[in-house]
Amino acid sequence: MPLYQVTNRITKDAYEVEAPFAQDACERLGWMIGDCHVKLLKESPFSRLTARPQGVEAGDGNVQNR
């Protein structure tokens, strides 16, 4: 499960929360998503930010998605 650092924009309180989504991390603290700044600290196997869409390079050098 992803690990988020959640900071309240008003009080500046910050916590680390494990949650499937950023909004869930805020709600677990009793805060609305609009009141939070959320930073992803640890990715889960299903949230690979470095993954790129796979494609096939065409003869003209352009990448076409499969």
CA pair distance 40, 2, nearest whole angstrom: 7
pLDDT digits (tens, 9 = 90+) for 17-58: 999 999 999 999 999 999 999 999 988 765 555 544 454 444
The values of phi and psi at residue 43, to 5°, are -85, 150
Q: Indicate the pLDDT class of residue 61, thresholds 50, 70 and 90.
A: low
Question: The pTM is what?
Answer: 0.65
Closest C-alpha to 37, from 10, 2, 65, 64: 10
Amino acid identity of residue 63, one-letter, is V
DSSP 48: -
